[in-house]
C-alpha cells in the first residue's frame, strides 16, 4: 500500500460579535512566519464568505514532525490569547493525514464501489 507522510491542519475560529476584524488582524500575523516555516507546503488564512465572524487557517506540512514543530512555535500562543481575551466564541483545531487513492480503495472500497456502479 502506498503511504504518504503529508499531514494538514484546519483551525476554524468563530469570533465574538463585534470582534471579527480584530481576530482577523491577529490571525494575519501568522501568515508570513507559518508560510516560511520548515516543512510548510501550503498555509492560508481565510474568511467565510457567508458568516463574517468565521475564520479558517489551513496548513499542509511535509510530515507530522514539521507540523508539530509549527504547533510548538511561540507565535501560536495567539490561539490561547484569543480565547483568554474573550475575542472568540469557539476555536476548533483538527489535524489530518492524507488518504492516497490506493489507501482509499483498500480501506474503504471507494474505487471498487465506483467501478461496480
7-116 sits in which CATH class? Answer: alpha beta
pLDDT tens digits, 49-94: 999 999 999 999 999 999 999 999 999 999 999 999 999 999 999 9
Query: What average pLDDT does range 105-112 have in this prediction?
Result: 66
Using 50, 70 and 90 to split pLDDT, how confident is the model at 102?
Answer: confident
pLDDT of residue 1: 39
- pTM for this model (two decimals): 0.81
The Cα-based distances of 10 to 57, 87, 95 in angstroms read 6, 19, 6
Q: Buried b / exposed e across 57-80, counting CB within 10 Å, b at 16+?
A: bebbbeeeebbeebeeeeeeeebe
Which pLDDT score is estimated for 100? 73
Amino acid at each position: 500500500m502506498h503511504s504518504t507522510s503529508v499531514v494538514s491542519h484546519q483551525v476554524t475560529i468563530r469570533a465574538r460579535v463585534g470582534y471579527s476584524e480584530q481576530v482577523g488582524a491577529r490571525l494575519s500575523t501568522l501568515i508570513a512566519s507559518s508560510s516560511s516555516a520548515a516543512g510548510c507546503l501550503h498555509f492560508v488564512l481565510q474568511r467565510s464568505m457567508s458568516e463574517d465572524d468565521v475564520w479558517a487557517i489551513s496548513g499542509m506540512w511535509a510530515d507530522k514532525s514539521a507540523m508539530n514543530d509549527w504547533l510548538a512555535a511561540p507565535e501560536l500562543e495567539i490561539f490561547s490569547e484569543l480565547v483568554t481575551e474573550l475575542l472568540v466564541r469557539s476555536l476548533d483545531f483538527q489535524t489530518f493525514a492524507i488518504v492516497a487513492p490506493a489507501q482509499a480503495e483498500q480501506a474503504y472500497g471507494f474505487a471498487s464501489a465506483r467501478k461496480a456502479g
